[in-house]
Structure 1
Amino acid sequence: MKTIKSKQDFELVFSRGKRINNSLLRIRVARRDEGDTGRVAFVAPKRLGNAVYRNRCKRVLREAARACDMPRDGYDVILFSTAGTHDSSPELVAAALQKMLAKAGI
C-alpha cells in the first residue's frame, strides 16, 4: 500500500481535496494526474488519547482501507480517526468508508 508521507503532499491534499465526515472517520480526497497510482494516509490526532489508543485507531483504519481495495488509482486519500473509530470493528469502519468513497465519486 503506497502512503502519503511528505508534508507537501499532505498540504496539497488539504488545499485541493474534498472533505467528507462521518461519526466513525473523516476523509479528505484529492484527484491526482491520470495514470498515477493512488496513495493513502492514516492519521490519529493526539487529542484522541495516548499512543496505544491512537495506534489501535490506525490499525482499524488500515484494515478498513484494505477491505475497500485502497488506494484507488488517481486519488490521494487521507483517513482521519475519530473517537468512534477505536471502539468500532474494521468491518463497520469499512462499510462507512465505502459509502464515503461513493459519495466522493471514487
Structure 2
Amino acid sequence: MKTIKARSDFERVYTRGRRYNHPLMRMVICDAVSEGDPGRVAFAAPKRLGNAVLRNRSKRVLRETARACDFPVPGHDVILFATAATRDAAPQDLCAALMRLSARAGVGW
C-alpha cells in the first residue's frame, strides 16, 4: 500500500479533494497527480480524539481496514480521518463504512 508522505501532497489532497463523512470515519479524496498512478492513502487522527496511544490505535485500525478493503483506489489519493467511534468499531463495520464512502465518491467497486 502506497502512502502519502510529503506535506505538499497531503495539503494538495486536503485543499483540492472532495469530503465525505460517516460516523465511523471521514474521507477526503482527489485525483492523483498524473494519469495511471497507483493511488495513495494517508491516515490521520486529530488531537481531540485523545492522547497519542488512542490516536495511534485509531490509525492502526484504519490501516487494517484499508488493507482488508483493497485500498487505495488506483488513480486517486485518499486521506482517511479517524473519528471517536473508529477505534472501538468492529472491522466489518469499518470496511462497510469505507465501501459506502467510496461508492458515494464514485470510485467504488
Q: Unaligned stretches of 5+ in structure 1?
A: none
Match of 1:87 in 2: 88
Quote the sequence identity (%): 60
Deviation by residue 1:35-63 (Cα, 9 ceiling, x = unmatched): 11100000011110011111111111011
Alignment of 1:32-71 (within 5 A): 32=32, 33-71=34-72
Matched positions, count: 106
Instruction: Tell whether the 8 Å contact from 1:57 to 1:85 is kept in structure 2 after alignment.
Output: yes
Structure 2 CA distance, aligned partners of 1:80 and 1:90? 16
Does the CA contact (< 8 Å) of 1:60 and 1:89 recur in 2?
Answer: no
Structure 2: gaps spanning 5 or more residues: none
Residue 77 of structure 1 deviates from its aligned partner by 0.4
Q: Equivalents in 2 of 1:91, 1:78: separation in Å?
A: 20
Cα-Cα RMSD: 0.9
User: Residue by residue, what CA displacement relative to the aligned partner does 1:4-51 show, whole Å, maximum 9, x if unpaired?
Assistant: 011100111012100000110000000112211100000011110011
CA distance in 2, matches of 1:52, 1:90: 19
Q: Is the Cα–Cα contact under 8 Å of residues 61 and 90 in structure 1 kept in the other structure? A: no
Q: Which runs of 4+ in 1 moved over 2 A?
A: none
Calculate the TM-score normalised by the size of structure 1.
0.95
